[in-house]
Amino acid sequence: MRLTDFKVLTFDCYGTLIDWENGIMAALQPLLVRARSALAGDAVLEAFARHESAQEAETPDMIYSNLLATVHRRLAEEWDVQPDEAENMRFGASVADWPAFSDSPSALAYLKRHYRLVILSNVDRASFAGSNRRLGVEFDAIFTAQDIGSYKPDPANFSYILARLAEQGIAPGEILHTAQSLFHDHAPAKQAGLATAWIDRRHERSGWGATMRPPTHTTYDFRFESLAAMVAAHQAETGL
């Protein structure tokens, strides 16, 4: 299997293109200060992952900015902090402030010359629009949880994107799903019959950070430690 076998790259955004872990940690600082928490960074992210995943399963049609506000409220309760609705809402609106990985804009600009680029993201349209400005590329299609009515890893999200791309004449074998999260993306994408590329942004760290532990034996077809490394592999295949 080669990268040049595919015509479409479907991307997860958060954790893959946008550095959501640093964004989450920055946005949680006011709550952590009030909590006087001694939790280390990964412990905070793991708490976020537990509450985010649970809330997505409980309220699959909730807009992501509202869902984040609810997660913030749940974290405050867990850490015995007096709830602050304005602080909850600021956290919910923080997605647009999360930084892009440094290699994302240039790598996407390169890949855009060789593939159709499609987003499949667990956010709402307004939140993604803020991130898109940081990425500096025009995606050929954008599908969010708001459009679909459920959150990855629900198989419905992959059924939805495959149906929409089939309407454009794109077969599953022409698609490479490109993502960091084994839990949210690779496990359900492989179940849907897609080839996948793991952008292993956490390769220097243990644990799963802001995502839940993936199912045992989750597989993928390519692994790169960055999007820039994926670009380099494509250039090696094509001689560009």
Instruction: Give the residue-averaged pLDDT of 201-211.
Output: 91
Interatomic CA distance for residues 69 and 92, integer angstroms: 4
Instruction: Give the residue-averaged pLDDT of 16-45.
Output: 91
Counting other chains too, the contacts that 187-193 makes at CB distance below 8 Å and 24 or more residues apart are: 187/153, 187/214, 187/215, 187/218, 188/152, 188/153, 188/154, 188/155, 188/157, 188/158, 189/158, 190/218, 190/219, 190/220, 191/155, 191/158, 192/155, 192/158, 192/159, 192/162
Query: Residue 35: pLDDT band by 50, 70, 90 thresholds?
Result: confident
pTM: 0.94
What does the block give as tokens for 237? 């295949």
**Bridge partner list, 208:** none
Residues 180, 199 contacting (CB under 8 angstroms): yes
Interatomic CA distance for residues 140 and 26, integer angstroms: 31
Q: Per residue in 154-173, is it b (16+ CB within 10 Å) or e — as a string?
A: beebbebbbebbeeeebeee
Domains of the chain: 3-19+98-238 (3.40.50.1000), 21-97 (1.10.150.750)
* Residue 160 vs residues 87, 153, 165, 198: alpha-carbon distances, Å: 34, 12, 9, 21
What does the block give as tokens for 42? 């990964």
The question of whether 12 is a catalytic residue gets the answer: yes
Element housing 8 (H / E): strand 8-11
Mapped onto helix, strand or coil, the DSSP state of residue 222 is strand
pLDDT digits (tens, 9 = 90+) for 54-87: 999 999 999 999 999 999 999 999 999 998 999 9
Given the residues 5, 12, 103, 200, select the one marked as catalytic: 12
Query: Residue 3: pLDDT band by 50, 70, 90 thresholds?
Result: very high
pLDDT digits (tens, 9 = 90+) for 96-137: 999 999 999 999 999 999 999 999 999 999 999 999 999 999
